[in-house]
Amino acid sequence: MKKGYLLTLGMFMVLIIVFALAISFNKSVEISKDRLGIIGISDRVFDLSSSVGNGLIDIIKIYSDFDIVIEENNKINVSFTEEISRVKVDWGISLDEKITEFKDFISSQDKNIKFTTESFDKELPLEITPYNITYSRTWGTGHVTLKVVPQTINFDGFEILINTSQEMISQVNVPNSNPGSFKFIVKAVDNFGTNIVNESNIDPETNNQVHVNLVGGNQVKVTVSNNELEVWTNSPETIITTIKIFGLPVLNKEVAVVYPKIVYNVTFPELNIVKLADIQFM
Amino acid sequence: MKHRRAQISAFDFILASSVSVIILVLVAATFFLYERKINEFVLYNDLSTKTFQVSDVLIKSEGVPSNWNSTNVNIIGLASEDRVINVDKLNNFIDLSQQEIKDKMATNYDIYFNLTNITGKSIASIGNPPAGIRSVVIKRYVMYKNEEAIMEFGLWE
Amino acid sequence: MKKRSWNLVYGNKGFAFILDVFLAILLVILMLAASNIYIFKNTKDTSSNLQLSKTGSDIVTVLDNTKELDTLNKDSIEDSISSLIPENYGYRFNISWQKSGEQEMQSFEIGNIVPNDKFVATGKKFFLVTNTDETNITDYGSAKYWIWLK
């Protein structure tokens, strides 16, 4: 009797190994199905997230008179063009309305998308990644200031175009300029044929200024000091400014201008997926 | 006459050992069949996942750097925006050798790439249609020069 | 008559009884069958499901990029979809939109009834409709799709 049992037991143990192999194969199949499933779900999340982001960008571009251009060749240039007014309330009236409408529409169509901010901040700031440069605006009584603050000066210079349109330029003067190797270019144009270019190599850590004086006494003051750029105006009329940060080095990362204050989540809690997104102009 | 003593009964021995051998052969064959199946599955799965992921990068990403060319490319992307193939990037891609493409895609599999318009007319292609023991080819819908186009992308060995 | 006894260690007994042999064989067959069920039930290629998912995502993106969705025209969108989608794929699209400044939602659907006995890939994209010179947004839209193998 004993030997018969031994035979059966021996065979059984060998077969356990075969069965274990089959189970392990089954587990591999399940894991690979999950992996392919995750790739499929990520498509859904990407489509939702990118379409919301693109919608917000389109709204901002259409209703804020704001344009961002990123040029990439041997070096990178990033330009911000906008029409600014010293009256904060006048600026971007329709923008808030449209963003709110869009957010309400999204929320009614898809419960998986949630916004974490209520409105668009007129003062921004925007961030140029991966360079850690911020672009912002502030309004004070009777004036508006655009500001560019780099974490470090690792680019060739600033180029600022001031288009005063209907406001005639009376003169451009340079009250302060300290020599260095950083390029500081200011171009002033109006609708009356004025086209003045002031180009100099400065030390950006010291105080350097170019004043664009307007007929009637108003001004546009362009200042580079402490490595920061400020464009200040008290003009009651809309002025078109283009600020270009040029000569940024090419890094092995995508260049983007990010507005970090409107953040939205795409969540699929049943799948344990949360995607955080902000607005990126690329 | 004295009977000689045997160690085992001949009939029992033949029966038991035949059965044992048959069972062992069956089990061994099954074991090797499973092992082959598992290997095949793992390889095919790797190929499949890689093909889908690389095709995604090609048609959704600008690449790194975003203005890459054949001398400075780190990651190959053909898009100027999501699922819009850029003419210059496509031309740069065609100029790369198969080995360069394989290196940038971090794969040893052979590459098959074919961009056609909706009617099937070829716009650009790299590599030969798969002719090996294992292949995955997928179809992606994209835009090229403002027209709808189809990108076939495959990895094979 | 006395039965002759073989002069073996265990007498008339062999190393294995037929019953043991039968039990062993039965166990072998059962275990192999169970193993085979595990191995062979999972041979179906799941990457075809992922291809469905990618096709749906691609097509809705192409419709968006060509501004076809902006037309909000059922026939035009249906023609575009059928020119792109493979013949062996079934599909359904739902296009919904809301005019800027209004509450009312409008929608239409294109395609066949979504089956419930097979894998169906699904997804959604949002889009904006602008006026001709792109200075004003007129509608907010969403395009949802379901795609399956016929």
- DSSP of A29-79, one letter per residue? HHHHHHHHHHHHHHHHHHHHHHHHHHHHHHHHHHHS-EEEEEEESSSEEEE
CB < 8 Å from A in window 5-64 of C: 15-17, 19-21, 23-24, 27-28, 31-32, 34-36, 38-39, 42, 46-47, 49-50, 53-54, 57, 60-61, 64
Q: What is the pLDDT of residues A139-183, one digit of tens each?
A: 999 999 999 999 999 999 999 999 999 899 999 999 999 999 999
Residue type, C143: A
Pick from A41, A63, A105 the residue to mutate for testing the C interface (most C CBs within 10 Å): A105
Q: Residue C115's pLDDT is what?
A: 95
Q: Does residue A2 sit at the C interface (CB-CB below 8 Å)? A: no
Confidence of residue A115 (pLDDT cuts 50, 70, 90): confident
Among B27, B35, B41, select the one facing A28 at the smallest CB separation: B41
CA distance B103 to B57: 15
- Selecting from A1, A5, A19 the residue whose C-beta is nearest the C-beta of C35 gives A19
> Residue B30: pLDDT band by 50, 70, 90 thresholds?
confident
Q: How confident is the model at residue C16 (pLDDT cuts 50, 70, 90)?
A: low
Question: Could you tell me the maximum CA-CA distance found in chain A, to the nearest angstrom?
Answer: 118
Q: How crowded is residue A239: how many other Cβ atoms within 10 Å of its Cβ? A: 25
The arithmetic mean of pLDDT across residues A236-252, rounded, is 92
- Contacts A109 to C, Cβ<8 Å: 96, 124, 126, 142
List pLDDT tens digits, range A47-75. Answer: 999 999 999 989 988 887 788 999 887 89
Specify the pTM. 0.81
Question: Is A20 near chain B, with CB under 8 Å?
Answer: no
Taking any CB pair shorter than 8 Å as contact, residues of chain C touching chain B are 6-9, 14-16, 21, 24-25, 28, 32, 35-36, 39, 47, 50-51, 54-55, 58-59, 61-62, 65-66, 83-84, 86
pLDDT given at position B121: 94
Q: What is the pLDDT of residues B71-92, one digit of tens each?
A: 889 899 999 999 999 999 999 9
Question: Range with the lowest mean pLDDT among A259-268, B53-62, C16-25?
Answer: C16-25
Cβ <8 Å between B16 and C55: no
Average pLDDT over residues B2-29: 74
- Yes or no, beta carbons of A255 and B42 under 8 Å apart: no
Q: β-strands A179-189, A157-163: how paired?
A: parallel
Burial of C87 (0-12, 13-18, 19+ CB in 10 A): exposed
Which residue has better confidence, A37 or C90? C90
Q: What is the reported pLDDT for C17?
A: 62
* A245 pLDDT tier (thresholds 50, 70, 90): very high
User: Which range among A16-30, A103-117, B61-75 shows the weakest confidence by mean pLDDT?
Assistant: A16-30
Band the pLDDT of B6: cuts 50, 70, 90.
Answer: low
Instruction: Provide, as residue numbers in chain B, all residues whose Cβ is less than 8 Å from the Cβ of A251.
Output: 65
Q: Half-sphere exposure (CA, 13 Å, Cβ side) for A65?
A: 14
Q: Which of B16, B52, B142 sits opposite C16 (nearest CB)?
A: B16
Please state which of the ranges A26-30, B70-74, C51-55 shows the lowest mean pLDDT. A26-30
Q: For residue B9, what pLDDT band results from cuts at 50, 70 and 90?
A: low
Which among C28, C51, C65 is the nearest to B26, CB-wise?
C28
| Secondary structure (DSSP) of C106-150 | EEEEEEPPPPSSS--EEEEEEEEEE-TTSSSEEEEEEEEEEEEE-
Give the separation between CA C98 and CA A120, rounded to whole angstroms. 22
Dist CA C17 CA C14 (whole Å): 7
* Statement: residue A211 has pLDDT above 90: yes
CB–CB of A72 and B31 under 8 A?
no
Identify the closest residue of chain A to C103 by CA–CA distance.
A105
- Min Cα separation B71/chain C (Å): 30
Amino acid code (one letter) for B15: L
Average pLDDT over residues B134-146: 94
For residues A177-196, give the mean pLDDT: 96
Contact B139 C51 (CB under 8 A): yes
Q: Is the pLDDT of residue C2 over 60?
A: no
Substitution target from A44, A48, A271 for chain C, most C beta carbons within 10 A: A44
Which pair of structure tokens corresponds to residue B15? Answer: 């029966």
User: What is the pLDDT at residue C75?
Assistant: 96
Q: Which residue of A has its CA nearest to B82?
A: A50
Tell if the CB–CB gap between A26 and C39 is shorter than 8 Å: yes
User: Residue B36 above 60 pLDDT?
Assistant: yes
Q: Give residue C3's pLDDT.
A: 55
